[in-house]
Chains A and B, each alone.
Chain A
């Protein structure tokens, strides 16, 4: 056993320095350290979520091609191994970033392609809750309601869509990163957006006519084949 003097020296070297450190931390460094930790937590939290989504990003080349050709995915084509697992990607995106309406919107379109009406409706409604001025959310949800026989809801949604200025929708489509990663694979994304927004008014008018005719029991005057109307990505 060491002599008392040596023990006292050890005690002061270890705990003395510890007390000094604790004093400095508590008095001078506590608040700045706390602010730094809170700020860093926000940054690392956001970055880790982006990385998780980044690792699971599918190959959007196929999606872009299908959009251009006007086709839509069949259920067996949503495949992790072939890099076309878009629904899983958008679902993960909406889980990690619940404030991003576009993740819910694109989920809704994928579910519509899979003919899963309840999930499609849920996703599109969530998209509208977050962003109530995106034209194509109203259009796709209105079309879904029309196909399901919810005529009043369809009329309300399509009428609201008609009131949204095209440039508002265009801005979302230009600015949002989730859409930009698909534009990269399109030869003329600007042209595509403009053309489809120009056609959007005509489509809305046609659907409203059909909805009103069905509502007023004039079904025979208007021919509505649900299979002819596909959900639109944008």
Chain B
């Protein structure tokens, strides 16, 4: 019996390797070229572009040095709470690689960044395969992801968005496998649970918003899994407790550990230092802005974050009212007043938390309208005018052609918004449902803060996936 099991296992393994070799030697030519063309383009850009080290990228660079310089890593926590750690760690790894190879750290960093983009492409293709998407749809999606101006810009500049791309798609994939694994009791087929927890953890260590997104999404996922199982709630929990616990432990233990390090070194039990300022500043700004036509239109004009509709319009001043500097000024002015009143940082934190809740529930209609408009900004992630990267002159010229700018910024943004709305009518498909819920929750989480263009970029892979899923569903329907 034992011998038979070994033989079957060996035969199975041999079959797996034979299959893998054939796939490597004889890949689908359409998909092969859909991957190769972007790789050639990235190689050209790696050799010819330069990033501009200003504003937040200087912060990331300095934090990376704390990891790179020997014995300095404790300063990261002592001087904190600082930014999320994964991207500075990536830069530090690039510095080490650059030093070892005797080249500038920029080259290894670009290679690592493009690896993240390639992983995102592969994961998106895997999700589309699960949807039984046509190979041309898969190839077109992979090609677009690899050639998208803003996604490439994210890989070439020193901002953290690139490091967040594969994790949300990973969450979608792992969610599907996790739901399937719930049918098996105990810890059998638990790799999806491990993958799900890990993907959320990695995303949170790039974008702190994951700390709020994860519990919301996982609550829904577990609830959905229970409804699909058809069991009573207690039976479901008994059957699936190991896997649910596994997801939560893998996500929360390292996160709490990191927050404990912050608490131990700098007295703040937090992941990052920016949540309070972003929430208080923006929510109070909204609370102080009654729902007049001017405020409404001014805010609406700022919705396409990737394209400036404000300058040149009569509502330019109104747009300025909704800028990041106005939001930060609201927070900073209040903080200065509290400091003058000799309030301790803990007391100030408590004051701001109360202020956030107070602002949230004052003028609920206005808050809701502004919330929806803020959320719509997340769909306008694409642009050909990415910042902080210097391109070759011919490419710079191409990216600045007005029609290209409008097509990329407004065209793709509008398409993403329509795609999302169409996907909401296709929720019978489990995979589309998971993607829509994850995207919707991400948009909701960011709606509470002032959405900058770079926040919208983090949602880009999900938006591409939604559009591809809708396209795949439509092409399947039309074939029938």
Chain A interface residues (CB < 8 Å from chain B):
1-2, 7-8, 10-11, 13-14, 17-18, 37, 40-41, 43-45, 47-48, 51-52, 55-56
Contacts and interface: CB of A to CB of B under 8 A. Distances in A.
Interface stretch (B20-28, B311-319, B365-373): B20-28
Nearest to A96: B53
Given A43-B393, A48-B390, A14 B33 contact: yes
Interface string B42-79: 00100111111111000000000000000000000000
Contacts of A56: 54
A26 to B, nearest CB: 14
A56 B53 CA distance: 11
A48 B27 contact: no
A14 B35 CA distance: 11
Given A37-B48, A40-B393, A51-B390, 20 more contacts: A1-B19, A1-B22, A10-B26, A10-B29, A13-B29, A14-B26, A14-B27, A14-B33, A37-B47, A40-B48, A43-B393, A44-B49, A44-B50, A44-B391, A45-B50, A48-B51, A55-B52, A55-B54, A55-B55, A56-B54
Contact size range, B: 20 to 34
Contacts of A11: 25-26
B351 interface: no
A172 B138 CA distance: 60
Contact of A47 (B26, B27, B47, B50): B50
Given A7-B22, A10-B28, A18 B36 contact: yes
21 contacts: A7-B26, A8-B26, A11-B25, A11-B26, A13-B29, A17-B29, A17-B33, A18-B36, A40-B48, A40-B393, A41-B47, A41-B48, A43-B393, A44-B50, A44-B392, A45-B50, A48-B50, A48-B52, A51-B54, A51-B390, A52-B53
Nearest to B32: A14
Interface string B374-401: 0000000000000000111100000000
Contacts of B50: 41, 44-45, 47-48
Given A43-B392, A44-B390, A10 B51 contact: no
Nearest to B22: A7
Interface in B1-31: 19, 22, 25-29
Contacts of B36: 18
B26 A40 contact: no
Contacts of B390: 44, 47-48, 51
A148 to B, nearest CB: 35
Given A14-B32, A18-B36, A43-B392, A52 B52 contact: yes
Contacts of A43: 392-393
A7 B21 CA distance: 12
A52 B391 contact: no
A1 B26 CA distance: 12
B348 to A, nearest CB: 20
A53 B382 CA distance: 27
A167 to B, nearest CB: 37
A49 B27 CA distance: 43
A129 to B, nearest CB: 26
Contacts of A48: 50-52, 390
Contacts of A2: 26
Contacts of A37: 44, 47-48
A5 to B, nearest CB: 11
A11 B53 CA distance: 44
B19 to A, nearest CB: 8
A37 B44 CA distance: 8
B52 A51 contact: yes
4 smallest A-B Cβ distances: which pairs? A48-B50, A13-B29, A10-B26, A40-B48
A56 to B, nearest CB: 7
Nearest to B55: A55
Given A17-B33, A51-B390, A52-B53, A44 B26 contact: no
A40 B49 CA distance: 8
A12 to B, nearest CB: 9
A47 B50 CA distance: 9
B239 to A, nearest CB: 37
Q: Which of B19, B50, B53 has the most CB of A within 10 A?
A: B50
A51 B387 CA distance: 11
A176 B35 CA distance: 48
A10 B27 contact: yes
Q: Which of A11, A18, A40, A47 has the most CB of B within 10 A?
A: A40
